[in-house]
Amino acid sequence: MGNKEKIDLYLDGPTLQEIEAFKNVDGYTFNPSLYKKLKVTNYIEFTKELINKTNNRPTSIEVIANDDKNCTRQGEILSKLGNNVYVKIPVIFTSGRSSKKTIESLVDKNIKLNITAIFEISQVKEILPILKDSKAILSIFSGRIFDIGLDAKNIFSEMAKYIHENSNCRTLWASCRMSYDYILAQQSSADIITMSPNLAKKITMFGKNPLEHSKDTVKGFFDDAKSTGFVF
């Protein structure tokens, strides 16, 4: 396991306009919270609209149910919206119970899956036997792992090693907090990283001279102060 030179870049929760504006991305991820932020009012109709704009790039859309029966039903509905759709299934329900029964049902139907909200390797070990031949995406929430004071880089690396050695699944570095997450994901053997459009834009700054960046920062402060008319 080592530093990956190239990982796929997905946009997390872009608007329809941002989907059209960002040309050099490899896919997209969405969840109900991002739909709420986008002020979506009709889940299926909006999903149809965005799928039409994705140029057949992999697009992960999440179910909104909280039980095996309805997650399976919704997964079947979402999968029919496009050949590029990956159905996102939370690794557990709100009760903490594993969603492996849902995962198994959808794998049996050859539906592409993105298993989301993974925080511990125990969760991976429970579901990987079901997924090992499926080429599913496993989304590990590195940013939220950092949020609770744990070393997400080491945790992700451990999970990625286990996943790559025991399956055909791909690993995704999720819940980014900064553009440097891209570097951390590379160092942790991630296959994919998903970033907000604002963070993805900042990747273009990699390699910029720090002194030039310092000057630009100070100039920004000065220009803002000047534009306000502050005096003292």
- The CATH superfamily holding the domain 8-203 is Aldolase class I (3.20.20.70)
CB 114, CB 87: distance < 8 Å: yes
List the domain boundaries for the chain.
8-203
Instruction: Provide φ and ψ at 55, rounded to 5°.
Output: 55, 40
φ/ψ (deg, to 5) at 171: -100, 140
Give pairs for 153-157: CB < 8 Å, separation 24+.
153/184, 153/187, 153/188, 155/120, 155/121, 156/185, 156/188, 156/190, 157/1, 157/187, 157/188, 157/189
Residuewise pLDDT in 10s, the chain (232 residues): 566 678 999 999 999 999 999 989 999 999 999 999 999 999 999 999 999 999 999 999 999 999 999 999 999 999 999 999 999 999 999 999 999 999 999 999 999 999 999 999 999 999 999 999 999 999 999 999 999 999 999 999 999 999 999 999 999 999 999 999 999 999 999 999 999 999 999 999 999 999 999 999 999 999 999 999 988 9
pLDDT at 182: 97
Helix axes 152-166, 121-131, angle to 10 degrees: 20
Angle at 178 between CA 37 and CA 117, to 5 degrees: 60
Q: SS3 helix, strand, coil % of the chain, rounded to 5? A: 45, 15, 35
C-alpha dihedral (34, 36, 40, 45), degrees to nearest 10: 60
